[in-house]
Structure 1
Amino acid sequence: MKGLGLFEPDKFYHLVNHAVGSENLFRCSDNYYYFLNRYAYHTQEVLKTYAYCLMPNHFHLLVRVCSWDELEKAPKFEGVVHKFVMQKISNWLNGYARAYNIKYERKGALFIDYTKRFEVDNEEYFTAAVNYIHQNPVNHGFVSHPYDWEHSSYHAFLSQKSTKLKRDEVVEWFRGTNEFQKFHQMNKGNLDDLIEGF
């Protein structure tokens, strides 16, 4: 899988992007929060979010493209789904990069040229992707358990606080919060058979 398929309505995708070279995308907590805020602002009309993890130099998202009916109601939608979704993602990442460059007095690209997108086309992949995304900081040696990483959606699934995540759908998928936690404890997030390493 090359991770460059077209976006289509009502389909799930695992999105991944990385900083250029040895750069970091986030240098402090405020960067992480601003990044998520901008993500919600730019993509809420086109994407529903099921899981995410922000790492210092890359990020993972599990999303579903909105239905055709929802997209038709979005301002400036001209009937080409892939182009519309890509424009929203581009606006989000370019806007963040501009703010980041101003804040840290740097120049040039911050993200690699394209956001990888892997269609999540079966139940096994969906389950594995949720877990893989939350296990990312464990697999990269930052923490020993997903709960210990502040910048992922893992905490939202154990909370009753308001969230833009499709929390109820994910918790129901795992048959409850306890089963969600158990699955993450028993499975270390291997997607080698489903996605190329990143």
Structure 2
Amino acid sequence: MQQFEPLIYGQFYHIYNHAVGGRNLFCEANNYEYFLSLYDKYIEPIADTYAWVLMKNHFHTLVRVKEKEKIGYYKKLNSDRSDDSVRFQTTTDLSEFGEPERVDINNLKRPEPVKHFSHLFNAYGKYLNKRNETRGALFERPFKRKLIDNENYLKQVILYIHNNPIHHGFCEHPIEYPWSSYLSCISIKSTKLHRDAVIGWFDSEANFRAMHNQKVEVMKIEEWLEM
């Protein structure tokens, strides 16, 4: 059985992954939208998201794994494996399991955050293979993750993520690319993205925009990611 390096509760991570064998992860708008819907189902219960970008053959996201107590327990596991997108449901309310004072928490199953990312990749891979009439693994394994332990790196990773489309020649400014969190950061629309924290790290929205207007040394950040 494949062993996964666990994700530590309460810690920030830059998580990223590529398609295998020169495949594309996203070929049309529906693909991006479906991935985001699966991301919401699998990742939102176990992690808070601060930045993300979806590229044709890879993606990046900045998340903070929730504390164990905030993730809670599995409410149920769906026995119908035909739909991976609804295999689990989590809850922090012990009344979901009966009378709280009679619930033995030692017998309850806690979600493992690293496996939720694997479920996301498996579910999306099955969707894309079925849609394109293809077979085989879609994502590289194991997926890449980098622990982020200071605020300066948080800011650098956000700039790196939002500038990824520029680095790969898809646009000249993050505002022009529709499949990243940059637009959510400068919008007033409701979002599950932790926008206020992101803007706070840059001190203000004006400074957030100003720093995204500057040239980002993407290659230097990539060198740090490989350390």
TM-score, normalised relative to structure 1: 0.90
Q: Give the equivalent residue in structure 2 for 1:96.
A: 124
Tell me the SS of whatever aligns to 2:224: coil
Q: Structure 1: 5+ residue runs without aligned partners?
A: none
Quote how far apart the aligned CAs of 1:187 are.
Answer: 4.0
Matched, 1:195 2:225: yes
- Aligned letter for 1:144? E
Alpha-carbon distance in 1 for matches of 2:41, 2:217: 29
Q: 4+ residue stretches of structure 1 with deviation over 3 A?
A: 73-79
TM-score, normalised relative to structure 2: 0.79
Matched, 1:149 2:180: no
- Aligned letter for 1:97? G
- Aligned letter for 1:91? H
Alpha-carbon distance in 1 for matches of 2:5, 2:116: 16
Tell me the SS of whatever aligns to 1:194: helix
- Are the aligned partners of 2:5 and 2:114 in contact in 1 as well (CA < 8 Å)? no
Larger radius of gyration: 2
Identity %: 38
Q: Structure 2: 5+ residue runs without aligned partners?
A: 77-107
Alignment of 1:77-116 (within 5 A): 78=109, 84-116=112-144
Alignment of 1:29-44 (within 5 A): 29-44=29-44
Superposed CA offset, 1:23-55 (max 9, x none): 100000110011011001111111100000000
Q: Pick closer, same or farther for the CA change 1:29–1:126 going to 2, 3 Å.
A: same
Alignment of 1:154-193 (within 5 A): 154-190=182-218, 191-193=221-223
Q: Give the equivalent residue in structure 1 for 2:8.
A: 8
Of 38-47 and 186-195, deviating more is 186-195
- Are the aligned partners of 2:50 and 2:63 in contact in 1 as well (CA < 8 Å)? yes
Alpha-carbon distance in 1 for matches of 2:7, 2:161: 20
Alpha-carbon distance in 2 for matches of 1:95, 1:134: 25
Comparing both chains, which one has the higher relative contact order based on Cα–Cα distances under 8 Å and sequence gaps of 6 or more? 1
- Are the aligned partners of 1:48 and 1:65 in contact in 2 as well (CA < 8 Å)? yes
Superposed CA offset, 1:87-110 (max 9, x none): 211111101110111111001111
Aligned length: 191
Alpha-carbon distance in 1 for matches of 2:18, 2:148: 20
- Aligned letter for 1:129? V
Quote how far apart the aligned CAs of 1:172 are.
Answer: 1.5
Q: Give the equivalent residue in structure 2 for 1:21.
A: 21
Tell me the SS of whatever aligns to 1:50: strand
Alpha-carbon distance in 2 for matches of 1:62, 1:35: 16
RMSD over aligned CA atoms reads: 1.8
Matched, 1:127 2:187: no
